[in-house]
Amino acid sequence: MADSEVFTSVDSLREALQSENNDSKTGFFPTMGALHHGHLALVKKVFEHADVVVVSIFVNPTQFNNPDDLKKYPRNLQKDIDLLKTAGKVLVFAPTVEEMYPSSYKELELDLGALGTVMEGKFRDGHFNGVVNVVNRLFEIVEPDLAFFGMKDFQQLAVIQFMVNQFSLPVEIVPCEIIREESGLASSSRNARLSEKDKEEAVVLSTSLRIAKELSGVFPPIKVKEIINEIIGRSSLELEYFEIVHPKTLLSISEWMPGSQACIAAYCGDVRLIDNMQLTEF
């Protein structure tokens, strides 16, 4: 096990980063903790691309539109740190809310257009404003050369890339494949709140996406949406949305195109889960 270091203040993290070799590449993976094997796989990927690896663990309150969801979000810092140590020497940044948002903090304003209003944006008011603010603040603190984001949060990835382009931020965004359980269920910190039975039922999300992919060569998007709505309707999950969208604009499409993307969100009990899949080749 390598010695990872944990920093709770911006100054201490910056001091550590400044003591690194000037030529070293910093790879950054922002997280909200409750780390699982999917995160670990991603941290290993960061190690392949960077000399200095920074992982932040911060449950960002400003991106939760539902206070109950924020309260119930799984937290286990010590377990997270122990898991990260198994990957190598990681600089762990685990700030407090006050450290991230001091009274002098000035909120970043960015009009995301449709990217911020469809799907997650429609159901989680203010969510992406919170994400954009926290990620921009973390980028200012860490100044990474590369930043890694999981593709499970497909819309978040599009939003972050948009922010980076809009502000010409000097960071390369590296999208990372979705890590799945053997059952097909997308790995997520929220899975920690699912019982074994819930997990079995939640598999309908990935199954539906796979069915949608198979049907993409057979039926138009509208018909595929209808079929998937029916399948989820017969399950115990409560569907929030199933959309087939343009891979860049994230607007709903009525005809297949290269890289057509399906995105889904549903409640399994009181746990909100999301997943997505590329349905057609680029």
Active site residues: 39
Task: Give the span between the Cα atoms of 185 and 178, in whole angstroms.
Answer: 10
Q: Is 163 in the site for ligand PAF (CB under 6 A)?
A: no
- Closest approach, Cβ 282 to ligand PAF, in A, equals 24
- Closest approach, Cβ 175 to ligand PAF, in A, equals 12
CB 261 within 8 A of CB 247: yes
Q: Is 31 in the site for ligand PAF (CB under 6 A)?
A: yes
Among 4, 7, 28, 32, binds ligand PAF (CB under 6 A): 32
Question: Which lies closer to ligand PAF via its Cβ, residue 138 or residue 264?
Answer: 138
Which neighbouring-strand residues pair with 56?
A: 30, 93
Task: Give the span between the Cα atoms of 149 and 176, in whole angstroms.
Answer: 6
- Closest approach, Cβ 181 to ligand PAF, in A, equals 18
Helix, strand, coil distribution of the chain in percent, nearest 5? 45, 20, 40
Strand arrangement, sheet containing 52-57:
5-7, 90-93, 52-57, 26-31, 146-150, 172-176
Pick the piece of the chain touching ligand PAF (CB under 6 A) from 29-37, 46-54, 242-250, 266-274.
29-37
Binding-site residue total for ligand PAF (CB under 6 A)? 10
Among 4, 26, 60, 136, binds ligand PAF (CB under 6 A): 60
| Tokens standing for residue 266 | 């549903």
Q: Is 54 in the site for ligand PAF (CB under 6 A)?
A: no
Question: Which lies closer to ligand PAF via its Cβ, residue 63 or residue 261?
Answer: 63
Write the CA distances from 248 to 24, 26, 87, 281, integer angstroms.
32, 27, 33, 14
Q: Is 142 in the site for ligand PAF (CB under 6 A)?
A: no
Write the CA distances from 194 to 38, 61, 91, 185, 190, integer angstroms.
16, 22, 30, 12, 7
Q: Is 135 in the site for ligand PAF (CB under 6 A)?
A: yes
What part of residues 114-133 is at the interface with ligand PAF (CB under 6 A)? 131
Pick the piece of the chain touching ligand PAF (CB under 6 A) from 26-34, 42-50, 139-147, 208-216.
26-34
Looking at residue 64, its amino acid is F
Question: Which lies closer to ligand PAF via its Cβ, residue 4 or residue 60?
Answer: 60
Report how far Cα 245 is from the mean position of its chain's Cα atoms: 18
| Positions in the binding site for ligand PAF (CB under 6 A) | 30-32, 60, 63, 131, 134-135, 153, 156
